[in-house]
Amino acid sequence: MEFLIPVLPLVTAYLLDLLLGDPRWLPHPIRLFGNLIALGERTLNHTKHRFLKGLLLTLLLVTATYAFFYLTLVILKPYPILSFLFETLFLFYAIANKSLIEEGRAVFTALKEGIPQGRSRLSWIVGRDTSQLNPQQIKTAVFETLSENLSDGVIAPLFFYMILGVPGAMLYKMVNTLDSMIGYKNDRYFNFGKFAAKLDDVLNYIPARITAVLMLLVSFKLHKLPLVFVHGKRHSSPNAGYPEAALAMILNCRFGGPNYYHGKLVDKPYIGTHDRALKDSEIKNVATINHLVTLVWIFIIALFLIL
């Protein structure tokens, strides 16, 4: 039965995510990560050598995160039940599938109440300016976010769990949190967060492409993979375009285009070719894709760990 030991936390954490999602009342390590990053940024991001300071902060936090979880598991190794509970808890924290889907659905529900409500709820989950978006742009933003964050919030952390265990999953979450907080291309963060942003790009390279393939697989549209790689390259991110392109091909729609981010107009290229109206009912289809991709990925990782 020892071959099941690495699989049990994975399956249990997945089931907990399906059941609980991300309860706002529950203390979350990502909030601690965010507080540490904010403290480091306030302390270091000024005067000279900002790139070097950002690099050092990133390396310090990433190394400390991996070391903490690795050493804790070493200490808990003689206590299999405690070790199982610890791994399950933090792997549960690393997965964000149900909460991602719920947030997407919440935007569609708010949009039915009115455009201002839809814009306001969308601002919870995207970094762009939502104040001028029309209903179609709001729906497009939700679908882009669900596809991109399927990679960031599910596939990538589980990928690093597969190769490095819970320490690897939490290392990834720290890098991803760093990127989301200081990885912006503006005057304040461009130099300070540049290393964190590049590191996030490197860690997401393989998971983003796995996500795109799995999305096509569960939708029985693997024949569109060549188009995904053509359109995925158009995105300014080296990774985000691939899950977005996969969903655009599955839905036969178009994503991307100009959008405001932090007050600046960003002329993003279009991904997909069919500029059509998105329907409210399609959120169910997108949610189903996310659930199926997560389930298939859990199965693949379980097989890898067993074999």
pLDDT in tens, the chain (307 residues): 555 677 999 999 999 999 998 887 788 899 999 999 999 999 999 999 999 999 999 999 999 999 999 999 999 999 999 999 999 999 999 999 999 999 999 999 999 999 999 999 999 998 788 988 999 999 999 999 999 999 999 999 999 999 999 999 999 999 999 999 999 888 899 999 999 999 999 999 999 999 999 999 999 999 999 999 999 999 889 999 999 999 999 999 999 877 766 666 677 789 998 999 999 999 999 999 999 999 999 999 999 998 8
Three-state SS for 161?
Answer: helix
Domain edges within the chain: 2-306
User: E strands within the chain?
Assistant: 255-256, 259-261, 264-266, 270-271
pTM, two decimal places = 0.94
Write down the pLDDT at residue 261.
66
Cβ(209)–Cβ(66) below 8 Å? no
Please state, in angstroms and rounded to a whole number, the distance separating the CA atoms of residues 130 and 122.
7
Reduced to 3 states (helix: H, G, I; strand: E, B; else coil), residue 292 is: helix
pLDDT given at position 1: 54
Of residues 267, 199, 274, 266, the one with CA closest to residue 239: 199
Which residues face 128 on adjacent strands? Answer: 261
Dihedral (CA of 269, 274, 277, 283) sign: negative
Q: What are the two backbone dihedrals, phi and then psi, of residue 249, each rounded to the nearest 5 degrees?
A: -70, -40
Give the span between the Cα atoms of 27 and 30, in whole angstroms. 9
Instruction: Give the phi and the psi of residue 270 in degrees, each rounded to 5.
Output: -80, 140
- Amino acid type, 104: G
How many other CB atoms are found less than 10 A from the CB of residue 151?
A: 28
